[in-house]
Structure formats: structure tokens, C-alpha cells
Amino acid sequence: MSIPAPADLLRHRGPALVVDAIDGFDGATLRCRAGAARRPWPALLEGAAQAAGLAAGHFWRCRVEVRDAAGALLLEGTVTLAPEPAR
């Protein structure tokens, strides 16, 4: 099974799209990559929320972690996702 690009799944475009690639999903953990660019704190939060949004088909309350390329923990938290409002 091929893994789709985040841009194909998220509504974000341009600089608002922080997550560059999905590296894997094992049924419990979704691993995403945001490239090598240094990101300011708000972008780390946004990237964690976008990764949680990608996992929303499986979970509604998502534990998130942001790590640098060496694996050091930069951010951890929980994101709660709500369904889209009825039209």
C-alpha cells in the first residue's frame, strides 16, 4: 500500500502546510516528517496538529511528539479533534 502525501489529505496549502511526508503508520503510531528547515515554536505546534489530523480517521484524541533529526524531544502534548460541523 502506498502512503499518500499530506498535501493530498490536508486542507492546508503553501507555507501553512508544515508536514512534508508520512514516514509510516503501524496502527498506533503515525510518523511524519517536516523537512530540515528550522521551525519556530508555532510551526512545531501546527505540525503536531496536522499530524494529529492525518490520524483522525483512527483516533479522536491524539498524543503528539515533535522531535528533531537526532531524536531529541522538542514538544509533547495531546490534540483533541472535533468532527467538522454539519452543513
Cell 511524519 belongs to 32
Cα-only R_g, the chain: 13
Alpha helices in the chain (DSSP H): 6-9, 41-55
Mean pLDDT of residues grouped by 10 in the chain (87 residues)?
Answer: 70 74 82 79 82 72 84 86 65
**Phi, psi at residue 42, to the nearest 5°?**
-60, -35
CA distance 15 to 3: 22
pTM (2 d.p.): 0.63
